[in-house]
Copies of this chain bind each other. A is one copy, B any other.
């Protein structure tokens, strides 16, 4: 998959996610629109069994995670050819409620080019194939959250 010099940022980081800086890195002179998704630690969850979260502990298989982020970016470009820049960033470590943990951003010349769908695809796909895990720690103890997706060989 050629990305023809378009900016692609992918990283597993321990510091704060800086939306302003990441957006600037994927903005070209031809860019007019960006769709950005961020996830954050929920301190109170109401869907399913109601629960409180003290913090989440994130862990990644870093080199593989970064390769899979690159793959997600390639898949986005293959589906939405108008996308210009892509940023995919996961923060790891101990993260407290309200803290942004993940960012997917896609830029394009115009907003009707699929940038919203591309960002949505990016976060869905990250949650399927990028090797990152979170342990939920509450006043009652901790448990690892397990995903539901089983990637095929070579996926």
Contact = CB atoms under 8 A, between A and B. Distances in A.
Interface of A is mostly: mixed
Contacts of A31: 40, 42, 98
Interface residues of A, number: 37
Contact of A32 (B24, B34, B39): B39
Contacts of A98: 24, 27-29, 31
Contact of A40 (B33, B39, B40, B44): B33
What's the number of copies of this chain in the assembled complex? 2
A109 B45 contact: yes
Interface stretch (A3-11, A67-75, A115-123, A136-144): A115-123
A37 B33 contact: yes
